[in-house]
Amino acid sequence: MADRIVVTGMGAISPLGLSSEESWRNAVKGKSGVGPITLCDTDGIMVKIAAEVKGFQPELYMPVKEVRRRDRFEQFGAAAAREAIEESGLVITDENRARIGVMISAAIGGITTLEQNVFVLINEGQRRVTPMVVPMYMPNGAAGLVSIDFGLTGPCFSISSACASGADGLGLATLLIKAGIIDVAVAGASEATITRIGLTAFDRAGAMSHVEEPPYPTPKPFDLNRDGLVMGEGAAILVLERESYALNRGAKILAELAGYGSTADAYHITAPDENGSGGARAIRLALESAGISPAEVDYINAHGTGTSLNDSAETLAIKSAFGELAYNIPISSTKSMTGHMMGATGALEAIFCVWAIREGIIPPTINYQTPDPACDLDYVPNHARQIPVKVAIDNAFGFGGHNAVLVFKEYESKA
């Protein structure tokens, strides 16, 4: 039997906390990370709220000189990777560093740095633009810097598949391990797009919520009165290993990443296929690769952005993949609390799937008040649910028609 792929470490910086566990605990509590925007001036733009990371101090994770040379998304990625590697107990040596890959994705990359330096160029001229623009802006920056920070010399890259980037990065990491190219992957995604142009661009695409008054009951995925997504930010990193490698070094195994499915809608550059066929196919492929039947799935962490098109298409995708079983599977959108972390969102939701398996708790979809006839499944409204979870699915769908689905299982030793 081929080696399985297991999770041995997790790290997160999110609107719900500065660690994997803190983010999870607040998700289970149904805590919202949404509030007024403080990271940029919102005069003249219509979006006034976001799910910001609070209290992040990058100098706790890297030298002060490096803080100044890294975009916010790169800082998040470095911090989350450090937590994940420390939890895994992985010791990096000259003997193993070439067999450890880094796959930290980003849909957009260092847009904060780019925006700031465009203004500098216009107002102060070329000589005032930082020479660090390219390494601070490039979407592969977080991956490259984590590779440098830890001396990891295996394959290193960033996947950009919009909001499926983090899940695709994790999926491709499993394929590299299965192919025998590496033994370990530090994989996930990082994103920091809460800027004037980031907010405006998504708003002009018709995707954003315009709620402005506290207690900010938005986003509201799958609710009849949903009015759009709320932008979030952060990073989520997992350490994935070949099972035999993890066992040989005595690692604590948290869960198994058993399956991955990836498809394209080939339909529209921003809208999902209305019948959800691409998402349904990705779910089927992920289950097939995991050797899991639809009846074995205990929980789905939905993409669930809170936009009308996404939520209805995802509901149809789940129904198509599971048939009548869809009505019996608890589904939640943790974006109702974290906002939409763009490329990083699928990676954080992968971490939540692992936690759900380990603790037997399904986080809620908060802000859910009015059922939508087009979205008629069990969305675990407003309160966490304690039930055994042995198999959990992570859906991640993105602009461009990208669909990525991961299947996590409770780890059971062959012995």
Asked if 113 and 137 touch (Cβ cutoff 8 Å), the reply is yes
Is the same domain home to 267 and 227?
Answer: no
Confidence tier at 413 by pLDDT (50, 70, 90)? confident
Confidence tier at 143 by pLDDT (50, 70, 90)? very high
Query: Residue 68: is its pLDDT beyond 80?
Result: yes
Percent of the chain exceeding pLDDT 70 equals: 99
Query: Residue 155: is its pLDDT beyond 70?
Result: yes
Asked, for residue 253, whether it belongs to a domain, the answer is no
Query: What span, in angstroms and rounded, lies between the C-alpha atoms of 218 and 106?
Result: 24
pLDDT digits (tens, 9 = 90+) for 20-64: 999 999 999 999 999 999 999 999 999 999 999 999 999 999 999
Asked, for residue 202, whether it belongs to a domain, the answer is yes
Phi, psi of 90 (to 5 degrees): -70, 125
Asked if 207 and 124 touch (Cβ cutoff 8 Å), the reply is no
DSSP classification of residue 402: E
Query: What span, in angstroms and rounded, lies between the C-alpha atoms of 11 and 325?
Result: 33
Which domain-ending residue is among 200, 219, 248? Answer: 248
Confidence tier at 407 by pLDDT (50, 70, 90)? very high
Which domain-ending residue is among 190, 219, 248? Answer: 248
Query: What span, in angstroms and rounded, lies between the C-alpha atoms of 307 and 310?
Result: 6
Is the same domain home to 64 and 10?
Answer: yes
Query: Residue 353: is its pLDDT beyond 50?
Result: yes
Query: Residue 107: is its pLDDT beyond 90?
Result: yes
Query: Residue 226: is its pLDDT beyond 90?
Result: yes
Query: Residue 311: is its pLDDT beyond 80?
Result: yes
Host domain of residue 326: 259-407
Asked, for residue 291, whether it belongs to a domain, the answer is yes
pLDDT for position 161 = 97
pLDDT digits (tens, 9 = 90+) for 209-223: 999 999 999 999 999
Query: What span, in angstroms and rounded, lies between the C-alpha atoms of 362 and 330?
Result: 8
Confidence tier at 150 by pLDDT (50, 70, 90)? very high
Q: What's the domain count of the chain?
A: 2
Residues with catalytic function: 163, 303, 340
pLDDT for position 142 = 98
pLDDT for position 415 = 65
pLDDT for position 36 = 97
Is the same domain home to 374 and 322?
Answer: yes
Asked, for residue 79, whether it belongs to a domain, the answer is yes
C-beta contacts of 60-68 below 8 A and 24+ residues apart: 62/149
Across 359-381, average pLDDT: 98
Which domain-ending residue is among 229, 248, 267? Answer: 248
Is the same domain home to 196 and 304?
Answer: no
Q: Which two tokens stand for residue 353?
A: 């799937």
Query: What span, in angstroms and rounded, lies between the C-alpha atoms of 221 and 367?
Result: 8
Is the same domain home to 236 and 339?
Answer: no
Name the CA radius of gyration of the chain, rounded.
20
Is the same domain home to 232 and 201?
Answer: yes
Asked, for residue 358, whether it belongs to a domain, the answer is yes
